[in-house]
């Protein structure tokens, strides 16, 4: 049975998967900084840093909305196949189980979105100059 509204769930899940995407971006930044076989690291680092900044700004906004609506997402359990999260909103609770490959796809989708938004802004800036 569904206890959260669609907008409450959308808010919580976007926050959850965006937070996961930030972790992936941060790990990629560290990997590229330490990787010696990459000839020119700076463009990749700059792109990832811009994506990280954009993601932090969005997550900050989401967190503000979540506080207003009293929405929380709590990690319950993880195994090789599934991860469980508890969505809490104004005393109502709903447990969601996610297939780990589905989580990966959602995080990848957010990373692509951040990449496109970052490069679209840069290319618009270059063409308007």
pLDDT digits 0-9 by tens, 21-66: 999 999 999 999 987 788 889 999 999 999 999 999 999 999 999 9
The answer to whether residue 1 is domain-embedded is: no
* pTM of the predicted protein model: 0.87
Bigger pLDDT: 120 vs 15: 15
Is residue 92 in a domain?
Answer: yes
Share of the chain above pLDDT 90, in %: 78
Could you give the dihedral angle defined by the CA atoms of residues 14, 17, 22 and 28, in that order, rounded to the nearest 10 degrees?
A: -140
Instruction: Determine, yes or no, domain membership for 96.
Output: yes
- The reply to whether 34 falls in a domain is yes
Average pLDDT, the chain: 91
Q: What is the mean pLDDT of residues 3-23?
A: 95
């Amino acid at each position: 049975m569904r206890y959260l509204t669609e907008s409450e769930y959308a808010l919580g899940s976007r926050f959850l998967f965006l937070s996961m995407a930030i972790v992936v971006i941060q790990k990629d930044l560290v990997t590229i900084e330490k990787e010696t076989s990459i000839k020119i690291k700076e463009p990749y680092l700059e792109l990832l840093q811009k994506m990280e900044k954009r993601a932090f700004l969005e997550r900050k906004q989401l967190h503000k909305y979540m506080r207003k609506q009293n929405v929380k997402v709590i990690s319950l359990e993880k195994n090789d196949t599934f991860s469980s999260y508890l969505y809490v909103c104004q005393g109502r609770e709903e447990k969601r189980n996610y297939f780990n490959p589905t989580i990966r796809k959602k995080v990848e989708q957010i990373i692509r979105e951040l990449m496109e938004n970052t490069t679209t802004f840069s290319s618009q800036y270059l063409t308007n100059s």
